[in-house]
Amino acid sequence: MRTYTIKPTRLADWLALYKSDALPLQMEVLGNLVGFFVTEFGGANQVVHIWAYESLDDRQARRGRMAADPRWLEFSRKNKELDAVVSLDSRLMRPTDFSPLQ
């Protein structure tokens, strides 16, 4: 699960950039998008997305391929130029044996 906090008034710009440049590549390489959300209450200007992997090794391999892709490098350049991200928090979560999502 990854949470981005975005500068006020920049959320729409960041989402547009992500949707056009990062999401197609991530769907291709990472593959299993569980959900993509923006906060309604609580922390303002936050984006949360969750991806599922077969294992930590699977995650590492997929993210390594993505990081080496020229499209990701271009997104990273544009993202830095946009300067909308305030902070990033990543969490790796393991489902319980009774979780609907495995």
What are the 10-residue block averages of pLDDT along the chain, 102 residues in total? 96 98 97 94 92 94 97 98 97 92 78
Angle CA(98)–CA(3)–CA(63) in degrees, nearest 5? 80
* Topology (CATH) of 2-90: Alpha-Beta Plaits (3.30.70)
Q: Taking Cα atoms as reference points, which of 58, 60, 52 lies closest to residue 100?
A: 52
Per-residue model confidence (pLDDT) at position 53: 93
List Cβ neighbours of 49 (8 Å cut-off, separation of 6 or more): 1, 2, 33, 35, 36, 37
The full set of domain ranges for the chain reads 2-90
Tell me the per-residue pLDDT of 17-34, one tens digit each, with 9 for 90 and over. 999 999 999 999 998 999
